[in-house]
Structure 1
Amino acid sequence: MATPNTNMLEGPLFKRMLVFSLPIMGMYILQLLFNTTDMVMVGRFSGSNALAAVGATGSLINLIIGLFMGLSVGITVTVAQDMGARKYKDVSETVHTSMVIGALAGIAVMIMGIAICRPILVAMGTPQNVIGLSETYMTIYFIAMPATMIYNFIAGILRAIGDSSTAMYFLLIAGVIHLIFNFIFVIGFHMSVAGVAIATVISEYIAAYLFIHKLLVAHDMIRLHLKKLRIHKDKMMEIIKIGLPAGMQSFLFSFSNVLIQSAVNSFGATMMAASAASSNVENYIGTPMTAYYNTAIAFTGQNFGAKKFDRIDRIAKICLLFIFATWILLGGFTLLFDKQIIGIFSTDNAVIKLGVLRLTVIIIAYFTNGVMNVFPGLTRAMGYSVSPMLATLIGACLFRIVWLLTIFTTVHTELILFICYPITWGLAGIFQLMIFFYARKKIRNNQREWVKTKLKTVS
């Protein structure tokens, strides 16, 4: 059996967590580059309407795929806990169950996304000069969903066993191919949003092939045997127990973002383009937070499975340190060069001005976003998945709705709309910290009860 790349159960944590996080950041940055190159290409060569059209789809795409992508969290937690407990047969069963679920989920999301994208774009108040382009982009984009689901599920499996590098290498290959086809379709054939969407589909299926091949040639418990592909009911239930609430959290959070996007749309195409450009930059700063979230899941899951609960406290402290360091370094750099960065996406001065305004409001309190996003990873890896979902529902989603219906309706300005983000992040972040400490206390109490029971049995 091959040894995992990272030993999560013994030795120092800080360096190993940092090294483990870096390739995950690379993977998500490459995924963001798919979208960024799309936006830069259409913004520079097809105009502001095309840029607004692609940017307006982000929150809607996340809304549709978020529920199913949450299952990848359930897969990572299940595999990590079984790895920590050295239940290698269970790991293999989860791998084969995951591939079947991934294929079915991808097909379901593809059909649903193509069917409902137009009605939701209309409901969001997408302007008439943008909606046709947005629909074209999404219709083609969702053809890639089976590939997207499968390779994200496999990436979660690899992280759970200690391999965070392979996914980055595969996404690098796919990213280069994506960029090449963007040049061919957008600049060469003048295909605008259709061109960037087709480039995305091609690169996603290439990435899926690379990931599947990785499992087919593996020499350990994660090896994929086509004849063994089936759903193991107990593993499916474990995945759903953790993954469904995680998916619901993503869905609810994306729903609140759709509501905000609708408010953005009410200001017109210039505001849409500015918000899209700023959001893309924010996603790059959020990428390390996502990496820390996945690192927290893998490290906490294995140590939870091995019943090494003291190490979970150290993992939490290191995560906090990572969050604040990232906020200061990347956030400071972004604020220092905000005009130049937004200018990459558009040469329109009105777009740049609004983009800088949003970016400033977001970055000043971005550490709250990190706390809100990272700590659910620790909590879920300890087996508590419903509570983090409720924290996001109350702290972020419901409060955003209240904000939009009251304060924003009263003071209908861009600044008031942007302020909604850091306030709701902070509220949800406080709730997530409270839930983490609650889960930590519960597992320690359960451990004490288990020790007492064992002592009584022995005596």
Structure 2
Amino acid sequence: MQKDLTAGPITKTMLAFAGPMIAGNLLQQFYNIADSFVVGQFVGPDALAAVGSAYTLMTFLTSILIGLCMGSGAIFSFYFGKNEPAKMKSRVQAAFLLIGGISVFINILAFLFLDGILRLLQVPEELFAMMRSYVFLILFGIFFIFLYNFFAFLLRALGNSVAPLWFLGSTVVLNVGLDVLFVVGFRWGIEGAAVATVLSQMISGIGIAAYTFIKEPSLRFGKNFFRCEKGAAPEILRFSLASSAQQSVMNFGVLMVQGLVNSFGPQVMAAFAAAVKIDSFAYMPAQEFANAYSLFISQNFGAGKEERIRRGTKSAFGISLSYCAVISVLVFILAKFLMMIFISPENREIIQIGVGYLRVEGAFYCGIGLLFLLYGYFRGINRPVMSLVLTVISLGTRVALAYLLAPLPQIGVWGIWWAVPIGWALADITGLAVMGGFAKRRTTAGA
């Protein structure tokens, strides 16, 4: 099912397209929360700390692939908007070969250097063996993560945001069920959570690939699969590497912060693991709405509809910032209750640390919501390098301030927390200034 985003009511079209994407990621975040809940309640705070730290590592590794898929999705959407199916198919084949090969390479490197990576993360000795066992198993799912995201971004580029939702929803339900079975029923501990995740990722990746080839026969890989159109591979690399760099730089910064958090010990690690899950769940709808907005921009950019881009941008900013303002108030007020979803009430110090994090981040969700929109805008108008620049500003500020302030006894972990919204603000100011310049030049050129 394809959907043309270049026609119809703007706000209604964007919301209808974004709805399944948001629902899908809410389901994904629900799984992450359920996973942490099962591990935290039935294995213990140390296991929660290990899973939380491992989640940050895996997010970094998979962000490289997700960024590549996201960048290629913008190209697919561009050629779909231009109504050039032959060029689109050649880009799909080139992207699959390139990104698939990169996923295998990353997987091999991660297995080879696993111990060294965990040492760099300053994982406490009492958690090292547990975390290593969990990560070793989770790494087997990397290729399936590539499969799911590649075909999900391909289907979304065609305007089909519903099918990825169904596959994600089904596998999330399976994942939670297997979590309960393996961790609570079979008492496999943290390894059971890892096995449940990998099995679910395998079903999701293979399933959505099969669905795509059944529903979109024109995109099936033929006998010329390994012979791409001249210029297709360089174009894919130009877009995808920029998006991948943006995603990986962002998550590498988070990984560096995780290493700093780990240096404060298991209690801070456990608090951070739980609070980040809540944080991600809270602002995720703004992130997915921005991804939908980006594809809206990309299709209309390909079709040359500048006025529709302008009106869509105004509508998107109003929707996203309104949502972020409301969710900021809710997280700030409910921070303690939200922490107790993961942490037993008797662990008061862990809860208190997490509440501090949430009340700093929660007050400034409009900053990250705006930044997500700026990322989407620059990807949509074929300026993915600008998204990377904004990420470097945001994460560079965050990491630098965190490492500067956290060692000071009178500041400690609060320096890590406050570095985040300051980084968002600097990137937002820069992005808005550049966005205004781009829009002005395009308006002048069109006049």
TM-score by length of 1: 0.92
Return the alpha-carbon distance in structure 2 between the equivalents of residues 283 and 41 of structure 1: 18
Unmatched segments (≥5 aa) in structure 2? none
Q: Deviations over 1:42-74 (max 9, x none)?
A: 101111100000001222222222223211122
Amino acid at match of 1:121: L
Is this contact kept in 2: 1:296–1:319, CA < 8 A? yes
Shift of 1:228: 4.4
Amino acid at match of 1:225: F
Tell me which residue corresponds to 1:154. 151
Question: Sequence identity, in percent?
Answer: 25
Shift of 1:441: 3.3
Return the alpha-carbon distance in structure 1 between the equivalents of residues 104 and 141 of structure 2: 9
Counterpart selection for 1:39 from 36, 39, 42: 36
Matched, 1:376 2:375: yes
Tell me which residue corresponds to 2:89. 92
Counterpart selection for 2:296 from 299, 305, 315: 299
Counterpart selection for 1:119 from 106, 113, 116: 116
Shift of 1:375: 1.2
Distance 1:231 1:113, change over 3 A: farther
Amino acid at match of 1:372: L
Q: Equivalences for 1:273-312 in 2 at 5 Å?
A: 273-312=270-309
Shift of 1:442: 3.9
Matched, 1:194 2:191: yes
Return the alpha-carbon distance in structure 1 between the equivalents of residues 412 and 207 of structure 2: 47
Matched, 1:227 2:223: yes
Return the alpha-carbon distance in structure 2 between the equivalents of residues 59 and 438 of structure 1: 35
Is this contact kept in 2: 1:282–1:359, CA < 8 A? yes
Distance 1:309 1:208, change over 3 A: same
SS of the residue corresponding to residue 315 of structure 2 reads: helix
Tell me which residue corresponds to 2:71. 74
Return the alpha-carbon distance in structure 2 between the equivalents of residues 68 and 152 of structure 1: 8
Amino acid at match of 2:422: I
Distance 1:112 1:195, change over 3 A: same
Shift of 1:207: 0.4
Is this contact kept in 2: 1:110–1:144, CA < 8 A? no
Distance 1:314 1:271, change over 3 A: same
Shift of 1:231: 5.6
Runs of 4+ in 1 over 4 A off after TM superposition: 445-448
Matched, 1:400 2:398: yes
Amino acid at match of 2:101: L
Amino acid at match of 2:221: H
Tell me which residue corresponds to 2:349. 350
Tell me which residue corresponds to 1:327. 324
Return the alpha-carbon distance in structure 1 between the equivalents of residues 136 and 240 of structure 2: 26
SS of the residue corresponding to residue 279 of structure 1 reads: helix
Shift of 1:373: 1.8
Q: Deviations over 1:380-419 (max 9, x none)?
A: 11111112212221x2232223313433333442222211
Is this contact kept in 1: 2:262–2:268, CA < 8 A? yes
RMSD: 1.8
Is this contact kept in 1: 2:406–2:414, CA < 8 A? no
Shift of 1:433: 1.8
Is this contact kept in 1: 2:53–2:269, CA < 8 A? yes
Tell me which residue corresponds to 2:407. 409
Q: Equivalences for 1:158-237 in 2 at 5 Å?
A: 158-219=155-216, 221=218, 223-230=219-226, 232=228, 233-237=230-234
Distance 1:180 1:226, change over 3 A: farther
Tell me which residue corresponds to 2:427. 428
Return the alpha-carbon distance in structure 2 between the equivalents of residues 325 and 228 of structure 1: 49
SS of the residue corresponding to residue 227 of structure 1 reads: coil
Return the alpha-carbon distance in structure 2 between the equivalents of residues 26 and 50 of structure 1: 28
SS of the residue corresponding to residue 337 of structure 1 reads: helix
Aligned residue pairs total 443
Matched, 1:105 2:102: yes
Amino acid at match of 1:379: F
Tell me which residue corresponds to 1:452. none
Return the alpha-carbon distance in structure 2 between the equivalents of residues 149 and 219 of structure 1: 19
Distance 1:435 1:113, change over 3 A: farther
Amino acid at match of 1:305: G
Return the alpha-carbon distance in structure 1 between the equivalents of residues 436 and 54 of structure 2: 37
Amino acid at match of 1:227: K
Q: Deviations over 1:82-139 (max 9, x none)?
A: 1111101112222223332343232122222222332122112111111221111111
Is this contact kept in 2: 1:379–1:435, CA < 8 A? no
Return the alpha-carbon distance in structure 1 between the equivalents of residues 192 and 63 of structure 2: 25
Amino acid at match of 1:130: L
Tell me which residue corresponds to 1:419. 418
TM-score by length of 2: 0.94
Return the alpha-carbon distance in structure 2 between the equivalents of residues 352 and 218 of structure 1: 48
Return the alpha-carbon distance in structure 2 between the equivalents of residues 279 and 228 of structure 1: 45
Structure 1, 249-258 or 265-274: larger mean CA deviation: 249-258
Is this contact kept in 2: 1:79–1:91, CA < 8 A? yes
Distance 1:57 1:402, change over 3 A: same
Distance 1:140 1:63, change over 3 A: same
Distance 1:115 1:436, change over 3 A: farther
Amino acid at match of 1:14: T
Tell me which residue corresponds to 1:24. 21
